[in-house]
Amino acid sequence: MDLLQQFWFGTRQIIRGTALLGLPIFLLACAATPAQQKQTEAEPEAMTTDDTEMTYLPLSSELVYYILTAEIAGQRGQIGIASDLYQKAADTIESPALAERAARVATFSRDKGRINKALDRWQSVDPNDADVLVMQVPFLLNEKQFNQVITTMDKAISLSPEKSPVYLATFSEHLSDMVDGATALPMMRRLESYRNNDPEARFAYARMAAFYKEYDLALTEIDALLAKQPNHEPFLALKSEVLQRNGDPERALKLIAKAAQKPGASEELRFSYAKLLGENGETAKAQAVFEELNLENPDNKEVLFALGLLALENGDGQTAKTYFTDLLRKGDPAQQAGYFMGLAEEMNGNIDAALVWFASVPADSQRFDSAQGRYISLLAEQGDVDKARNHLKLMRQERPGQAREFFLFEAAFLQEQDMSKEAMSVYDEALLQFPNDFELLYSRAMLAESQNDIPKLEADLRKILEIDPDNAQALNALGYTLTDRTDRHQEALLLIERALELKPGDPFFLDSLGWVYYRMGNLDLAEKYLRQAIAVQPDAEFNAHLGEVLWQQGKKGEAQAVWQAAKEQDADNKVLNETLERFNQ
């Protein structure tokens, strides 16, 4: 079910088909993901204004010049220039439509000063336009002006109550992106519409509670809504989703099945039902519902995507290819179809086509990393490791902001190919560029351990600890290695004890503590801590260690039973097999 779970358990967008350009504003207010950064560099959306007003604008030569030049700059990707020119145009005339356009273009510049200036102008020429108020919210959140956020949202909803569902959904998105649940949920409760028991506000709060996994809160709110509107489909769909997430799939399916199978049930509700069927392993029933939806509305892209995934799950690459081809032809807003087309072609045995599809997945797609990984793996499977490495080198050059990740990817890839010497060279090169990166240092240390280069391992872990003395992972790794590979047991004990102070009860640290006591000859304490580790998390390596301690205590039958349990957990575990070999088991 791996493929389907990527879909079934994916987070659904809070709102679809509506937009206030909230995303571009949010990008300015906080750190953006690479995909979001790419999006902000795209061409601004086409100008949408009141046609009547624009028809009667006094189009002076100066105004025409600003607007036309701004549009040309935008088409060339010169967003800052486009924003400045639109701002000049907006300052030239009292036009709400033009001021709005200037503000929306400014959001793509990611320049806080430009956006504030544009929003101020829009508000000055049209103080009763609620959209401009909602667009201010992410900036206010970023500056932690929470009281002003509530005042602004209350005013926006009072000015345009017909837009309340859109505004509340947009507000929910901003909250979920920018603050934690302890802040977001009380803010939702402070809205005037929530306090007045407005169903849309209460529904938005329930969705927010579900997002933060406050399922009891969400269910209480939804049940109150359903008491007044027992057949309201969005309420039913949300409750079934919450029940599913809260570990009650039987109730979830029972709740939604009856409503979804009624004549006239909405496409949205039936989609939710099919999705829930898929989550619970009833893929045949899910497919039947999706196929019915596809017949009724062949342009529903989410349905096409779901059917493509189902075909892949069923091993039918050709059918999957058909659905994803249709999705690409009709527009692939999530930019995921190319990756799954690659999987379909790979399943069909068309490796060259699969490589082309994986390489075509855009960098701002959430499937970009997966596509790169599959592209590299396929090249390796074809015996073209050099081409794979050249591709990763090119990616580092083209995307310097992700160079660190591509170094880590290449090193891990080379280790999978049993090319540890080459992997070490990659780490060395990466650390020249990122000398204090903890993940690179730790990864090189682990590779050094596999190469029996304990001095290099210690040097890298010590460097991490120089920068961050309380790095529990580095403390434990160094302590375990010193006791396992050297006779510096007392030093190792201090390191491991410090790691456990920082993360009490960590099973890996408890295993290390048990092992250091074993190496120091204290078998009773060794057994105690190893059993504690296994109680927290059963693990083949922990059992390998415990079995060795028990064997040395003379409890050979018990040791053999522990080792047998470890075999059943992970028969290929390296530590376990080395232990069994040493004891001729």
Asked whether the CA dihedral 90, 92, 94, 98 is positive or negative, the reply is negative
Q: Please check the confidence at residue 55 and state whether its pLDDT lies above 60.
A: no
Tens digit of each residue's pLDDT (9 = 90 or more) over 172-190 = 888 888 888 889 999 999 9
pLDDT at site 176: 86
> Cβ-count burial of 384 within 10 angstroms (0-12 exposed, 13-18 middle, 19+ buried)?
middle
Token reading at 530: 């190893």
Extract the tokens encoding 445.
Answer: 């240390």
pLDDT at 383 over 60: yes
Looking at residues 36-41, what average pLDDT do you find?
A: 32
pLDDT digits (tens, 9 = 90+) for 156-174: 898 889 989 988 988 888 8
Q: How high is the mean pLDDT of the chain?
A: 83
CA-CA distance, 567 to 572, in Å (whole number)? 8
Mean pLDDT value across residues 273-287 = 90
Query: What is the per-residue pLDDT across 468-506, written as a single tens digit (0 to 9) for each?
Result: 999 999 999 999 999 999 999 999 999 999 999 999 999
How much is the pLDDT for 3?
43
* Contact criterion met (CB below 8 Å) for 483 and 492: yes
pLDDT of res. 57? 54
Residue of 351 and 113 predicted with greater confidence:
351
Average pLDDT over residues 310-329: 92
* Of 36 and 290, the one with more pLDDT: 290
Percent of the chain predicted with pLDDT > 70: 88
Q: Alpha-carbon distance 133 to 117, whole Å?
A: 14
Res 36: pLDDT: 32
What is the tens place of the pLDDT at every residue in 181-238? 889 999 999 999 999 999 999 999 999 999 999 999 999 999 999 999 999 999 999 9
Query: Is the model more confident about 533 or about 100?
Result: 533
Model pLDDT for residues 423-434, shown as the tens digit of each residue = 999 999 999 999
Burial class (CB in 10 A: 0-12, 13-18, 19+), 426: buried
Query: In terms of Cα–Cα distance, which of 219, 201, 200 is closest to 209?
Result: 219
457 vs 102, more confident: 457
Between 135 and 22, name the one with better pLDDT: 135
Residue among 131, 134, 86 nearest 108 (CA): 86
Q: What type of residue sits at position 275? A: K
Query: Would the CA dihedral through 357, 363, 367, 368 be positive or negative?
Result: positive
Gap between the terminal Cα atoms of the chain: 37
* Alpha carbons 495 and 42: distance in angstroms, whole number: 51
542-560 tens-digit pLDDT: 999 999 999 999 999 999 9
- 51 pLDDT more than 50: no
Rounded-to-integer distance, Cα 529 and Cα 504, Å: 12
Answer for the pair 113, 94: CB distance below 8 angstroms, yes or no. no
Quick one: pLDDT at residue 35? 30
Q: Are 351 and 317 in contact (CB under 8 A)?
A: no
Instruction: Note the pLDDT of residue 43.
Output: 33
> What pLDDT band is residue 123 in, cutting at 50, 70 and 90?
low
Q: What distance lies between CA 294 and its chain's CA centroid?
A: 28
Has residue 271 got a pLDDT over 90? yes
- Print the SS3 string covering 19-33: CCCHHHHHHHHCCCC
d(CA 482, CA 254): 57
CB 60 within 8 A of CB 17: no
Q: Give residue 92's identity as a one-letter amino acid code.
A: T
- What pLDDT sits at residue 369? 82
Q: Is the pLDDT of residue 324 over 90?
A: yes
SS3 content of the chain, % helix, strand, coil (to 5): 75, 0, 25
pLDDT of residue 20: 23
Closest by Cα among 88, 169, 158, 95 to 130 = 158
**Arithmetic mean of pLDDT, 15-38:** 25
Tokens of 569: 């957990």
Residue 585 has what pLDDT?
82
What would the two tokens of residue 149 be? 């956020």
Q: Which residues are within 8 A (CB) of 20 and not within 5 positions of it... i.e. 6 or more apart?
A: 131, 134, 135, 166, 167, 170
Residue 55 contacts residue 49 (beta carbons within 8 Å)? no
- CA angle, residues 93, 99, 103, in degrees to nearest 5: 150
Whether residue 421 has pLDDT greater than 90: yes
Of 278, 365, 376, 497, the residue nearest 33 (C-alpha)? 365
Question: Rounded distance, CA 11 to CA 18, Å?
Answer: 17
pLDDT of residue 234: 92
Name all contacts of 325-331 with Cβ < 8 Å and 24+ positions apart: 326/298, 327/301, 330/299, 330/301, 330/304, 331/301
What torsion do the CA atoms of 38, 40, 46, 50 make, to the nearest 10 degrees? 160
Range with top average pLDDT, 140-144, 363-367, 407-411 = 407-411
pLDDT score recorded for residue 39: 33
